[in-house]
Amino acid sequence: MMLRGIRGATTVEKNDEKDILLATYELLNQMIIHNHVEPEKVASVFISATPDMTEAFPAKALREFKGWKFVPVMCMQELDVPGGLERCIRVMIHYNTSSSQKDIQHIYLENAVSLRPDLSNEE
- From 7, 25, 26, 55, active-site residue: 7
- From 13, 17, 63, 86, active-site residue: 63
d(CA 115, CA 78): 14
Is 116 marked active-site?
yes
- From 78, 88, 95, 110, active-site residue: 78
Is 78 marked active-site?
yes
Which residues are bridge partners to 47 per DSSP? Answer: 75, 91
- From 4, 87, 95, 108, active-site residue: 108
Q: Which residues, 6 or more positions from 51, have their beta carbon under 8 angstroms from its beta carbon? A: 77, 78, 80
SS3 80: coil
Is 88 marked active-site?
no
- From 25, 26, 55, 75, active-site residue: 75
- From 88, 90, 95, 110, active-site residue: 90
Backbone angles phi, psi at 52, to 5 degrees: -85, 5
- From 13, 38, 40, 116, active-site residue: 116
Terminal-residue alpha carbon distance, the chain? 31
- Which residues are tagged catalytic? 7, 63, 75, 78, 90, 108, 116
